[in-house]
C-alpha cells in the first residue's frame, strides 16, 4: 500500500496527446477570452446519497469555471441507465468521461465505444472500473486506509492492544459490486481479525469472515440503509436473545450506519447508556448529527472537494497536453491493467472535531446539524 509520488509513464502521455488533439480540433469558434474548450461527461451513481450530489455539483462547477462543456448525469443506482447515459454523452461529443461506476465490472463495452468513436480519455471517479484497458486514470481516496482508520478506531476505543475484552462485534461490509468495498473491509479486518481469532472480539451472529476474501458474504447490496437495518434486526432477534449486548459494529459507511442505528434504537439501545461503538464513512449530515447525539462514534471523512479539485487538475493537464500527476501506480489492478491513480487521505471525525474539520472548513453548515 505504499504511496510513492510519481508522474505518469510515457505510454499514457500519448493518450493525453490524443485527447488534446481531439479537444483542440473542436476549439474553433468556441473559445472566447481564452476559455478552454473541453467537453466532459460526468456519470454519477445516484442522487440518493448526499455525497454523490456534492461530488457531482462540485465537479460540474469547477469544470464550468474552467470553460468546459459539462453533462452531469445520475443513474439511480441502475447499471443499464448508467450505460445508456454514457452512450448519450459519447454521442453528444464528450472527449473526457468521468465515471463513478455503480457496478465496476460491466462498463467495458461502453468504454470501448468511447475510445473508438471519440478517442475519449476515461477517468474512474472514486470507484475503480474493472475488466477493461479503456480506463486511463483513477482518482480516489486511499480506500484501504478508510477501513484501517475504522479498525484502528475500534482497537483504540476498546483498548484491544492492551488486552481488553471480550467484546461483542457485528461486522458489515459494503456493496459486493463496488470495488471499494473490499478495500474498506480489508483495511478494517487486517486490524480486527487477530482479535477475533484470539477471542478478544466475539461475533455472536457468526458473521465474521474467516479472511478478507470472504467479505462479500456480509456485503449489503447497493449500500442500502434499509437492507442494513433489516440485517441488523435479524442479527439482534436471532442472536441477542438473552443478556447479550452488542458492544461494537463495524459499519463501512454512513448509509449502512444509519440503518444499523435505527435497528439498535428500535431494539431499545439508548445512546449514552448501553449503546455500541459504530463506525461510518462520508460525513453525511444525518450521520454528523448522529455523532453529535452519541448515536454514532465516528465517520471517516473524505473531503470530496479535494477529489473534485484533483479530477479538475487531471482534466486541465489532459487538455493542455501536460503530464497527469498520479501518486500510486501499484495498488489498483483492474484485471486488465494497473490504473495510474491519485489517492487522497481520508480523516477521522468524532464528536470532538466536528466543528474544526467539517464546519470551520465549510464542508457542512452548523445549522444543517443542529448547531
Ligand atoms: C463507496 C464510496 C463511499 C460511499 C459508498 C456508498 O464507493 O467510496 O464513499 O459513498 O460508495 O455510496
> Is 143-302+351-357+363-369 in the same CATH topology as 11-135+303-345?
yes
Kindly report, residue by residue over 339-349, the tens digit of the pLDDT. Answer: 999 999 999 99
Counts for the chain of helices (H) and strands (E), in that order: 10, 14
What CATH number was assigned to the domain covering residues 11-135+303-345? 3.40.50.2300
Question: What integer pLDDT is reported at residue 13 of this predicted model?
Answer: 41
Question: What integer pLDDT is reported at residue 37 of this predicted model?
Answer: 54
- For residue 223, the ligand 1 atom closest to its alpha carbon is 6
- For residue 141, the ligand 1 atom closest to its alpha carbon is 8
Question: What integer pLDDT is reported at residue 296 of this predicted model?
Answer: 98
CA distance from start to end of the chain = 38
Name the CATH architecture for the domain at 143-302+351-357+363-369. 3-Layer(aba) Sandwich (3.40)
Instruction: Spell out the residues 6+ positions from residue 257 whose beta carbon is closer than 8 angstroms to its own.
Output: 228, 249, 251, 278, 279, 280, 287, 290, 296, 299
- For residue 46, the ligand 1 atom closest to its alpha carbon is 12
Question: What integer pLDDT is reported at residue 371 of this predicted model?
Answer: 87
Task: Write phi, then psi, for 365 (nearest 5 degrees).
Answer: -90, 145
Pair 343, 137: CB distance under 8 Å: no
What are the boundaries of each domain within the chain?
11-135+303-345, 143-302+351-357+363-369
Distance 322 CA to ligand 1 centre (A): 30
Q: Which of 98, 133, 137 is nearest to 16 (CA)?
A: 137
- For residue 184, the ligand 1 atom closest to its alpha carbon is 8
Pair 123, 97: CB distance under 8 Å: yes
Residue nearest to atom 1 of ligand 1 (CA): 180
Question: What integer pLDDT is reported at residue 208 of this predicted model?
Answer: 98
Q: Among 223, 255, 343, 347, say which to mutate for ligand 1: greatest number of ligand atoms within 8 Å of CB.
A: 223
Residue nearest to atom 6 of ligand 1 (CA): 223
What stretches in the chain show pLDDT beneath 50? 1-36
Region of 3 please: left (phi>0), alpha (psi -120 to 50) or beta. beta
126 lines ligand 1 (CB under 6 A): yes
Pair 184, 281: CB distance under 8 Å: yes
Task: Write phi, then psi, for 146 (nearest 5 degrees).
Answer: -55, -50
Global pTM reads 0.90
Distance 31 CA to ligand 1 centre (A): 36
Question: What integer pLDDT is reported at residue 36 of this predicted model?
Answer: 37
Kindly report, residue by residue over 40-92, the tens digit of the pLDDT. Answer: 999 999 999 999 999 999 999 999 999 999 999 999 999 999 999 999 999 99
155 lines ligand 1 (CB under 6 A): no
Q: Among 178, 184, 224, 304, say which to mutate for ligand 1: greatest number of ligand atoms within 8 Å of CB.
A: 178
Distance 143 CA to ligand 1 centre (A): 10
180 lines ligand 1 (CB under 6 A): yes
Amino acid at each position: 500500500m505504499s504511496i510513492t509520488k510519481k508522474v505518469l509513464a510515457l505510454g499514457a502521455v500519448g493518450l493525453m496527446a490524443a485527447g488534446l488533439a481531439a479537444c483542440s480540433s473542436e476549439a474553433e469558434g468556441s473559445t472566447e477570452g481564452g476559455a478552454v474548450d473541453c467537453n466532459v461527461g460526468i456519470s454519477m451513481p445516484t442522487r440518493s446519497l448526499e455525497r454523490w450530489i456534492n461530488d457531482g455539483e462540485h465537479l460540474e462547477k469547477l469544470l464550468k469555471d474552467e470553460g468546459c462543456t459539462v453533462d452531469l448525469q445520475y443513474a439511480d443506482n441502475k447499471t443499464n441507465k448508467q450505460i445508456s447515459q454514457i452512450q448519450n454523452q459519447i454521442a453528444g461529443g464528450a472527449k473526457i468521461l468521468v465515471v463513478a461506476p455503480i457496478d465496476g465490472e460491466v462498463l467495458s463495452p461502453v468504454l470501448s465505444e468511447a475510445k473508438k468513436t471519440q478517442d475519449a480519455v476515461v477517468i474512474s471517479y472514486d470507484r475503480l472500473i474493472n475488466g477493461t484497458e479503456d480506463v486511463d486514470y483513477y482518482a480516489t481516496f486511499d480506500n484501504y486506509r478508510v477501513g484501517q482508520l475504522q479498525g484502528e478506531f475500534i482497537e483504540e476505543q476498546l483498548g484491544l492492544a492492551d488486552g481488553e475484552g471480550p467484546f461483542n462485534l457485528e461486522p458489515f461490509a459494503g456493496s459486493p459490486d463496488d470495488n471499494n468495498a473490499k478495500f474498506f473491509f480489508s483495511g478494517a479486518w487486517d486490524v480486527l481479525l487477530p482479535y477475533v481469532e484470539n477471542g478478544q472480539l466475539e461475533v455472536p451472529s457468526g458473521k465474521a469472515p474467516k479472511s478478507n476474501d470472504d467479505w462479500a458474504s456480509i456485503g449489503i447490496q447497493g449500500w442500502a440503509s434499509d437492507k442494513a437495518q433489516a440485517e441488523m434486526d435479524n442479527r439482534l432477534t436471532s442472536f441477542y436473545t438473552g443478556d447479550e449486548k452488542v458492544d461494537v459494529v463495524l459499519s463501512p459507511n454512513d448509509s449502512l450506519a444509519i440503518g444499523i442505528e435505527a435497528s439498535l434504537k428500535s431494539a431499545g439501545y439508548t445512546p449514552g447508556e448501553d449503546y455500541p461503538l459504530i463506525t461510518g464513512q462520508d460525513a453525511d449530515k444525518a450521520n454528523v448529527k448522529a455523532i453529535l447525539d452519541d448515536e454514532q462514534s465516528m465517520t471517516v471523512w473524505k473531503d470530496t472537494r479535494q477529489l473534485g479539485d484533483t479530477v479538475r487538475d487531471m482534466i486541465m493537464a489532459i487538455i493542455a497536453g501536460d503530464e497527469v500527476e498520479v501518486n500510486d501506480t501499484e495498488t489498483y489492478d483492474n484485471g486488465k491493467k494497473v490504473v495510474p491513480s491519485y489517492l487522497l487521505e481520508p480523516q477521522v471525525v468524532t464528536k470532538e472535531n466536528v466543528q474544526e474539520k467539517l464546519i470551520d472548513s465549510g464542508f457542512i453548515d452548523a445549522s444543517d446539524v443542529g448547531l
